[in-house]
Structures are given as C-alpha cells and as structure tokens.
Amino acid sequence: MIWLINLLGLALMLAIVWWFWIAKPATTQRQGDTVDILVDDGVYTPSRIETPVNQPITLRFLRKDASPCAEQVIFSDFDISAELPVDDYKAITLTPQEKGEYDFTCQMQMYRGTLIVI
Amino acid sequence: MTAATRLSISGMSCAGCVASVEQALQAVPGVEQAEVNFAEHTATVEGDVSADKLVEAVKQAGYDAAEMKGQNAEADKEAAEMAHYRRLLRKTAVAAVLGVPLVIGDMGGFLPALDTSLGQPIWLFLGLLTLGVMIYAGGHFFTGAWKAFRVHNANMDTLIALGTGAAWVYSVVVVLFPDTVPSLARHAYFEAAVVIIALVNLGGALEMRARGKTSEAIRRLIGLQPKTARVVREGKEQDVPIDEVGLGETLRIRPGERIPVDGDIIDGHSSVDESMLTGEPLPVTKQVGDEVVAGTINVSGSFLFQSKRIGADTVLAQIIEMVRRAQGSKPAIGRLVDKVAGVFVPAVLLVAVATFLIWFNLGGEVLLSHAIVATVTVLIIACPCALGLATPISIMVGVGKAAEYGILIRNGEALQQAGKLEAIVLDKTGTVTVGRPSVTHLVPAADYSEEQVLQLAASLEQGSEHPLAHAIVEAAKQREITLSDVQRFEAITGQGVSAELDGDVCYLGNVRLMQSQGIDIGELQDRAQQLAGQAETPMYLARGQQLVGIVAVADPIKDDSAAAVRRLQQLGLKVIMLTGDNTATAQAVARQVGIDEVIAEVQPQDKNRHIEQLQQRGEVVAMVGDGINDAPALAQADVGFAIGSGTDVAIESADVTLMRGSLHGVADAIAISHATLRNIKQNLFGAFVYNSLGIPIAAGILYPIMGLMLNPMIAGAAMAMSSVTVVSNANRLRWFKSGAQS
C-alpha cells in the first residue's frame, strides 16, 4: 500500500511536469487576418495562435471576466499593452517580424497565451 | 462581429464628395454598408472592420475623418466591476454563513463524532451542504482550474480548487468510509473548504477595491471630458452629447465651462486653466487663432471655437492612451519575476505532492491527517498573484501619479532608467531659460547709431526662423523701423547669418563668424565680453569688412530654474548645461542657476556626441531639451526628457514628456521614479519572502521543531491578504508630493 501511494505520488509529479511544462496545447491556425479570443474563467480561448512571419494579425479580445485579473493584456516582446473593456471587443494589430513564440499575458501572468510565428 | 461605426467627415462640399467618400468606405474589406449624411457631415458604416481602417480610407480619398465614439466605455467598465465586486461579497457572505458555525461547532466540540450512528448522517448532510456552497461560492475556481488545465496552464484557480477540493474529498471519504482511514486521522475539513473559499473571495473583493484606487489618475483624466457640448448649428446654440460633435463644428464656451473637444478660437478671447493637463497653475490667455484643448476650463470670457480634433484624436484622449499604455508596460526588473510567476503554480503543485509523500513516509498512517492538512495548506498559502502584481501595480500608480503632475512617462523601462540616473544634461534655451529672447542692448561702432544697428540686423534676420532672429525683428517692429530687402540670405550653422544689402555682404553672428571673415572686432570686444558676463548673448554685426555694432539679446531665466537645479543636485545628480551659445553667456546663466559644468558653443548636430562622451565615462545620462531641435540628443541619452509648454506636447518624441515648462517636472519625474522603484522592490521582497517562508511553514517544516502545523484557514487568510498588501503598498505612491513647493 505504501509503495503504491509513493508510486502514484511520483507518477503524479511526473504528470505535472509533463502536462504543464513539456506537452503543448493544440494550436489555432488563423483564418483571415483576425482571430477572436475569449477572455474568461482564467484562460484565453484560443490560447495558442499560429501566424506567418511578417504578416499583420489582428487579435480581438472579448473580455467576459469582470475581475481585475483580466483587465489588461500585455505583449511584452512587442511592448504592447491594452486595457480590455468588459463585454466588448478590443482589437490589437501587430506584425511579428521574427519567427518564434511570443507570450501574451495578463498583469499577473495567470491568463497566458502564445503567439507562434512561423 | 458586425457593428456600426460613426465617423465625422470634414472637407465635403458637394454631392460628388459624398459619392467619393461612400466609395472609399465601401472599398474597405469587411464593410457591408456605408452611408454618408451630407447635412450632418457624418458617415455610418456597418461591417466587421476597425474604425482606424475607415478613417485611413477617407483620408486617402482626400477628406478628413474621425470616429465619433461615445465616452461610456469607462462607465460600463466601472458598472461591470461593481457588479463583480458585489457578487464576490455575496459569495463571501454565503460561504461564511456556513463556514463560521462549522468552525465554532468543530472547535467547541458541539458536533457529534464522525464514527457514531448519529454523527455519520449529520456529517454527510454537512458535506452536501458544503458542496452546494462550494459550487455557488467557489464554482468559478473549479471552472477556471478545469479550463486552464485543458490548455496546459495552471493558475490561482488551480490552487484554490485543488486545495478546497482535496479537503472536501478527503472529508467525504472519512465520513463515508471511516474504516479506510486510521482512527487518529478521522477528521473532516468541510469548514476549512468553505472558510477558505469565503476568505479568497473576500480577498478578491478587497483587492478590487484597492485596485480601483490605482487607476484613479486615469479616471481623473477621463473625468475631464464633459458629457455634452454646446454647438452652433444653423445659427442656433444647442446642447448635444459629446459623441455627436463632428469635425469643423462651431462650439460656444461660456465662463466656467470645460472645453469638450480640441479646436481653434474663431471669435472672442478668454483665459483658460490648463492646470489639469499640464500642472501649470496660471491660466493661459487665449485669443482668436489660439488652440484650446479638451478637458481644460474656460476661466473668464465667452468664445466660439471650431472643432479640429474629436474622440480619440484629442490631446486629452492621446494623453489617456499614452498613460494607459505606459501603465501596462513593464521595466526589466519585472521580467525575471514574470518568468518565475509563469512556472510558479506547477512548481507549487509539485511541492504539494512532495509534501504529502514526505509526511506519509515519515509520519506513517498515524500522521495521515497531517499529510492532508499540509498538502492543502501548501496549495492554499502559495500566492502567485502577489508575485505577478508586485511590479505592474506599482508602475500603474507611479505612471498615473506622474501624469497628475503633467509628466508623461513613455513606459516602465523609462521609469526604471530615470531612477538610475547619475548625470543630467540641460539644454539652455527654453529649458533653463524662458526661450523667448529679447533685445537688451544695441552697441553701435563709431559712425553708426543704435537705430542703424537695429535696422541692419533686423533686415538680415527677417528671413530667419531662429528665436534670436525673431527677437531682433520684433525689437525693430516695436521701434517702427522700416526694414530693407536683402538678397542671398544664408544661415551659417552655429555661427550666424549673412546676406547681401546694396551689393555689400553683411554678417550677423558670433566671434567665429567674424574671425572666418577676417573682420576686426577689437573695437567692441571688451563690451561684448562684458555683456556675455551678464548672461546676455552678444552678436557682432558687420557690413563688408567693417564692424557696425553689437546686438545683445537675453533670454530670461525661468523663475524656478535655480530651485529645480538645486533639487536635481539634492537627488544626487551631476547637472550639466549644454548650449550652442557662447561660453561667457552660458557660464553667466549657469552661475545664476547654480550649475557648475557647462559645455558651450556646441553645434546642434554635435549635442548627441557630447551625451555619448558622458556615457563613455560610465555615467547614466539624461538629456532635457525641447524635443524637436534636441531630438538626436534626447534619443542618445539613457532617458530623454522633452520639455514642453502647455498642451503643445511632442508626445512621441521622448522617454518622458513634460507638459509644463518648469524644470521641476524633471525633478518630480526622477523622484517619482525613485519612489516607484523602491515600491516595486518592497513588493517583490514581500512577495518572495511571503512565498518562500509561507510554503515551507505550510508544508509543516516547523512541526518537528515546535510541533506547529499551520491551519489551512489561516493559510487562506494569509494568501488573500498577500495580494491586498501588495496593492495597498503600491497605493502609498498616490501620496507622493512634489518637492517643488518645499
């Protein structure tokens, strides 16, 4: 019994490492120039968006969560931050000029998304 | 999303224009319908398209346009936040109504034992009641945790959901299957689950209240915008909502009223209080042709003005946008924390599992309840929010506070750099001095009169844009001197000007100009040096090879420059003056304001080189200049301060833009930067110490030494208060006071 619980515990730790740090969630391909992102319940949906390099992309954030956690979206690599209105769209247009993964987050880093530039 | 966008169009004069604008709008991808109302000079566009693209299309068609947007967004936001705040309080109350009696019952021994025939159904009922309360008051934690989990993310919700969920599941197992749990570990933690949810909701509500104060500066700026405007249409004055005001409309402003949009006065005159935007206390006189901007207050007279910037294009709207952008940016000091915060929650999950295993293996079955308590407490006490908030919340308050003093900070990085400055370079004209020079002395050479000197000098300078030239021409106008036409005017950078008059080449400029032309200035050299020693700028005037005289111009030193320089020195900065003016004049000005180091006679294009030289000495250097002439030096400096005047600000030109002309703004900006950085460090220290002490204590590190296990409810309270503490500490920055008064 003790061994079983220890094994389960270690397996759980490995699962945490794998799920949160190694495995990546599904990626959303952009359709057209604009991607709508829902801001609610602590997550951006979709949270991983793929876009080609050197092409402008407009991300339209629709904030449903009225808590201050969701108030701002920050693209620190692009030096962009915006305040999100509640129940309304806020569009951010940017043109990534280098391939790579760029995070966008709320002020507290709890809402997290990634722009994957290919 | 299909939405209607309203635009104000100006420049349309006929039905043909209407068709052109409509075509231009229809051609924008995403536009479904575009209708132009010629009478109102407005366009209504339907479709999935941004207003910016529509405005751009109209401008490309040769007209001007601006979005007519309501000012209700902030009110909507506040209403939504207030509703959320009330919801949190309601959830807190519901959870507390069950949690508090449970705590009292449990601690006071009023509840029956778990393994009795009476106890089991009662505890089962309490468990179900707890579940109902958890779903109502804490359901959002579980939803958030699940949604985050699905996208491989973990956040605050994850910790709360796992902590309270684990406490509830363990308690249900104890109630339903008591025999599977060692007798000493048979304890239910329903009260802990609901009390934690009550405390976390209460913490969220308190944090919301505290955070509301952090955006006070923005709210105050938004509040400057009136809701209505009095427009003159077809000869009649009528009050209309602000979002109905279009471009090119005539508006009436009466005494005491706030100006609703930007425009130029077309009739009447007044004095306008611009202090809310610039921090400048004295009202500014305005007359026909002068610009007035939204948010400022008309003090005395009544006037008519024509709107030229509306909605998001007004200076006020741009200032609000810039402050918002800066408030959301992070300095380098926050970047490392972001990395830590990004991996913090999964790391806490690992610590929680490890805590359980260690307790389970070391304590055995007897201490199983300690393993459960410690695991739940680790999950609950960890607070990534305090870490994540530490930097941005201070930046938000610091940048907002600066805006109240008419200081626009471009981003968090500029704020951080301003706190590290060692040397500050001040441009002289317009920065230390008023920037409006006037002629103070005319010294004729033998055979010439004062009038002849002024007539010749003004004739030479009438084609020049230089402020000194303006002063000379102005002096000639005041004496009603008729100027002569000159040919072949040439400005010689850093030396002066030359032009031809009646076949003679004439020169007006400094010693270097005279020397380069081989003109003997010996006759007036002593007098020139004497004038320079009095902080005046002497310029030699020559016709052909003959010296005609000296025109001395002085630019008065601003009243508060000396006090501001003293403040900068008290802040530990080395203050240097950089100017194109001659050495003697520059030194005289520097002496009067208390500056020791002067770099004079610098060509405008060389200013940035001097900044670079200072940087090569290892100093972190700021440059203060007017933002236009000094742009390369401002860009070269580690922090560029563009000093403006009134609301005519070059917003994009520098790291820090000062809307008022006083050098005190520089000292205030640096002092705010010091205060903000200190605040960030306190927050980061607090958040790191809290988590790095709280988590081991929660894991039970003190148990072997002191026999102390932390109660998960205390952990819940500590976690809730840690975020509130960070926000409250940042709020202290709101009490910053300018040293200018002292």
| A57-90 confidence digits (pLDDT tens) | 989 999 999 888 888 898 888 888 888 888 888 8
Across the interface, of B353, B361, B392, the residue whose CB is closest to A13 is B353
Q: Can B427 be counted among the known catalytic residues?
A: yes
Give, in order, the Cα–Cα distances in Å from B165 to each of A9, B161, B355, B398: 17, 6, 17, 39
Other CB atoms within 10 A of residue B303 CB: 24
Q: What's the pLDDT score for residue B410?
A: 85
Task: Lowest mean pLDDT of B236-240, B385-389, B576-580, name the range.
Answer: B385-389
Amino acid at B553: V
If pLDDT is split at 50, 70 and 90, which confidence band does B364 have?
A: low
Q: What's the pLDDT score for residue B725?
A: 92
Q: Give the nearest chain B residue to A18 (CA atoms).
A: B152
C-alpha B400/C-alpha B331 separation (Å) is 16
Measured between beta carbons, which residues in chain B are less than 8 angstroms from residue A110? 155-156, 384-385, 388
Other CB atoms within 10 A of residue B731 CB: 19
Directed axis angle between helix B216-223 and helix B190-214, to 10°? 50
Sign, CA dihedral B230-B234-B236-B239, equals negative
Q: What angle do CA B166, B169, B175 make, to 5 degrees?
A: 140
Q: Is B421 within 8 Å of B415 (Cβ atoms)?
A: no
C-alpha A78/C-alpha A70 separation (Å) is 19
Look-up of token digits 């929660």:
B698
DSSP assignment of B190-257: HHHHHHHHHHHHHHHHHHHHHHHHHTHHHHHHHHTS-SEEEEEETTEEEEEEGGG--TT-EEEE-TTP
DSSP assignment of B461-502: HTT---HHHHHHHHHHHHTTPPPPP-EEEEEETTTEEEEEET
Token reading at B124: 């089962």
CA-based nearest distance A107→chain B, Å: 6
C-alpha B171/C-alpha B174 separation (Å) is 5
| B624-668 confidence digits (pLDDT tens) | 987 666 788 888 999 999 887 555 554 555 789 888 888 999 999
| B672-691 confidence digits (pLDDT tens) | 999 999 999 999 999 999 99
Measured between beta carbons, which residues in chain A are less than 8 angstroms from residue B342? 103, 105, 109, 112
Tell me the residues of chain B between 16 and 75 that have a Cβ less than 8 Å away from chain A: 48, 50, 73
Q: What's the pLDDT score for residue B1?
A: 43
| Residue scoring higher pLDDT (A25 or B381) | B381
Judged by a CB distance cut-off of 8 A, whether residue B156 touches chain A is yes
- Three-state SS sequence of B652-663: CCCCEEECCCCC
Beta strands in chain A (DSSP E): 28-29, 34-40, 43-45, 48-51, 57-63, 72-75, 80-83, 89-94, 100-105, 112-117
**Long-range pairs of B225-233 with CB within 8 A, sequence gap ≥ 24:** B225/B71, B225/B260, B225/B294, B225/B295, B225/B316, B226/B257, B226/B258, B226/B259, B226/B260, B227/B71, B228/B260, B229/B260, B229/B261, B230/B254, B230/B257, B232/B304
Query: Checking DSSP bridges between strand B487-492 and strand A57-63, what pairing results, if any?
Result: unpaired
Token reading at B523: 């006759």
DSSP state of A97: -
CB contact under 8 A, A16 and B388: no
Q: What angle do CA B578, B583, B588 make, to 5 degrees?
A: 90
- Pick the catalytic residue from B157, B262, B273, B427: B427
| B421-469 confidence digits (pLDDT tens) | 999 999 888 889 887 888 999 999 988 999 999 999 999 988 777 778 8
Across the interface, of A16, A60, A82, the residue whose CB is closest to B350 is A16
Measured between beta carbons, which residues in chain A are less than 8 angstroms from residue B329? 74, 76, 79, 81
Q: What's the pLDDT score for residue B133?
A: 96
For residue A113, pLDDT over 90 is answered with yes
Judged by a CB distance cut-off of 8 A, whether residue B393 touches chain A is yes
Q: What share of chain B is helix, strand, coil (3-state, %, to 5)?
A: 55, 20, 25
CB contact under 8 A, A107 and B204: no
C-alpha B453/C-alpha B465 separation (Å) is 20
Q: What's the pLDDT score for residue B122?
A: 92
Q: What's the pLDDT score for residue B71?
A: 54
Q: What's the pLDDT score for residue B571?
A: 92
Give, in order, the Cα–Cα distances in Å from B618 to each of B77, B339, B422, B615: 47, 30, 9, 5
Beta strands in B224-377 (DSSP E): 228-233, 236-241, 250-253, 262-268, 270-273, 284-286, 291-292, 297-298, 303-309
Q: Give the nearest chain B residue to A1 (CA atoms).
A: B365
Give, in order, the Cα–Cα distances in Å from B370 to each of B58, B111, B178, B351, B361: 70, 21, 17, 15, 12
Q: What's the pLDDT score for residue B650?
A: 46
Q: Is B641 within 8 Å of B658 (Cβ atoms)?
A: yes
For residue B294, pLDDT over 70 is answered with yes
CB contact under 8 A, B152 and A107: no
If pLDDT is split at 50, 70 and 90, which confidence band does B301 have?
A: confident
Complex confidence, ipTM: 0.88
- Strand-pairing partners, residue B304, are B252, B267
| B687-739 confidence digits (pLDDT tens) | 999 999 999 999 999 988 888 888 888 998 998 888 889 999 999 999 988 87
SS3 state at B325: helix
Query: Checking DSSP bridges between strand B656-658 and strand B639-643, what pairing results, if any?
Result: parallel
What element of type H or E holds B129? helix B119-150
Per cent of chain B over pLDDT 70 is 95
Measured between beta carbons, which residues in chain A are less than 8 angstroms from residue B353? 9, 12-13, 16
User: Buried b / exposed e across A79-102, counting CB within 10 Å, b at 16+?
Assistant: ebbbbbbbebbbebebebeeeeeb
Amino acid at B510: N
Other CB atoms within 10 A of residue B319 CB: 24
| B32-47 confidence digits (pLDDT tens) | 888 887 766 788 888 7
Across the interface, of B84, B392, B393, the residue whose CB is closest to A67 is B84
Give, in order, the Cα–Cα distances in Å from B452 to each of A35, B483, B491: 72, 10, 22
Across the interface, of B328, B341, B361, the residue whose CB is closest to A109 is B341
Measured between beta carbons, which residues in chain A are less than 8 angstroms from residue B349? 16, 20
CB contact under 8 A, A20 and B152: yes
Q: Is B114 within 8 Å of B174 (Cβ atoms)?
A: yes
Q: What's the pLDDT score for residue B223?
A: 83
Q: What's the pLDDT score for residue B279?
A: 66
| B104-149 confidence digits (pLDDT tens) | 988 888 888 877 788 889 999 999 999 999 999 999 999 999 999 9
CA-based nearest distance B198→chain A, Å: 16
CB contact under 8 A, A12 and B153: no
Query: In this structure, what is the dihedral angle of CA atoms B419, B424, B428, B433, given to the nearest 10 degrees?
Result: 40
CA-based nearest distance A92→chain B, Å: 10
Q: What's the pLDDT score for residue B86?
A: 93
Burial class (CB in 10 A: 0-12, 13-18, 19+), A23: exposed
For residue B212, pLDDT over 70 is answered with yes
- pTM value surpassing 0.90: no
Q: What's the pLDDT score for residue A108?
A: 80
| B69-117 confidence digits (pLDDT tens) | 655 566 777 788 888 899 999 999 999 999 999 989 888 888 888 777 8
Other CB atoms within 10 A of residue A8 CB: 12
Q: Is B498 within 8 Å of B492 (Cβ atoms)?
A: yes
CA-based nearest distance A60→chain B, Å: 10
Measured between beta carbons, which residues in chain A are less than 8 angstroms from residue B148? 41-43
C-alpha B202/C-alpha B197 separation (Å) is 8
| Residue scoring higher pLDDT (B130 or B8) | B130
Q: Is A88 within 8 Å of B73 (Cβ atoms)?
A: yes
Q: Is B716 within 8 Å of B380 (Cβ atoms)?
A: yes
C-alpha B308/C-alpha B442 separation (Å) is 43
Mean pLDDT of all residues in chain B? Answer: 87
CB contact under 8 A, B384 and A109: yes
If pLDDT is split at 50, 70 and 90, which confidence band does B742 have?
A: very low
CA-based nearest distance A5→chain B, Å: 8
